[in-house]
Amino acid sequence: MVRGFVHLIGAGPGDPELLTLKAVRCLGQADVVLFDDLAAGPMLSHCRPDAELIAVGKRAGRASPKQGEIDRLLVDHALGGKRVVRLKSGDPGIFGRLEEEIIALKAAAIPFEIVPGVSTASAAAAAAGLPLTRRSEARRVQFVTGHDITGALPADRNMAALADAGATTVVFMPKRTFPALVEALVAHGLSPETPALMAEHVGCPDQRLTRATIGALAAQLAASVSDKAALILYGPLMEDL
């Protein structure tokens, strides 16, 4: 049986100019492209006119393909001898369920390659004109998810690390659980006045950056939550320099 090949590609945060040259090349060679909601639009212009484009984006609160269905599509197309691209937003290795797709491909003996992308965390800080680290104030960066598989705040979170006032913390998928997280952070000694940045639709035309404190953001999100994809950064550097 002739097996195809799968490229697991990070599309970056949404700005097509942040695609890597390798990502562009792979898109131009692909027979089939499975893409996320935030890895669509102008990015797909790099595909061949005859390429099959399949939307598989998963968004909270909306009907969307299950991960098992995405895995099956990757395997089936590759087993048919196709060159397949799985286009994920941000970097595929950061809260992108990459490991499940790798397991499915390995089980079917399908060769694959991971092509990293610009993380939304890095892009958000850059859009705000801020660094993620500083030698004297923020010596550590930590990426965490805002919810577990049930949609709740993870029960096994390391609160000592999350409440570290000398770290830059990036919370992915944070909106619905951030008020509860802030309550726990304050209980573990982090000031509610800690600077924070909420970045929505980073790299897209409707990008929105909200600078506040963790306390103010928690209050805002407790009152109203939009459906825009977002992440929240907090720590000593998340304020105007």
Rounded average pLDDT over 142-152: 90
Per-residue pLDDT, 151: 85
Rounded average pLDDT over 123-143: 92
H-run or E-run covering 20:
none
**pLDDT band at residue 34, thresholds of 50, 70 and 90?**
very high
Give the tokens for residue 174. 């944070």
Rounded average pLDDT over 83-111: 96
154-164: pLDDT as tens digits: 888 999 999 99
Instruction: Please check the confidence at residue 60 and state whether its pLDDT lies above 70.
Output: no
- Which residues are CB-contacts of 178 (< 8 A; sequence separation ≥ 6)? 146, 171, 217, 218, 221, 232
H-run or E-run covering 40:
none
Per-residue pLDDT, 57: 84
Rounded average pLDDT over 134-145: 90
Per-residue pLDDT, 139: 85
Largest CA distance in the chain: 61
CATH class of 120-234: alpha beta
**Which active-site residues does the annotation give?**
36, 58
Summary mean pLDDT of the chain: 93
CATH 3.40.1010.10 fits 5-115, yes or no: yes
| CA dist., res. 219 & res. 108, Å (int) | 48
Instruction: Please check the confidence at residue 166 and state whether its pLDDT lies above 80.
Output: yes
| CA dist., res. 112 & res. 35, Å (int) | 16
Domain ranges, ordered by start, for the chain: 5-115, 120-234
Angle at 95 between CA 184 and CA 163, to 5 degrees: 25
Q: Which of 59-63, 143-147, 200-204 shows the lowest per-residue confidence on average (mean pLDDT)?
A: 59-63
| pTM, two decimal places | 0.90
Rounded average pLDDT over 99-113: 97
Per-residue pLDDT, 30: 98
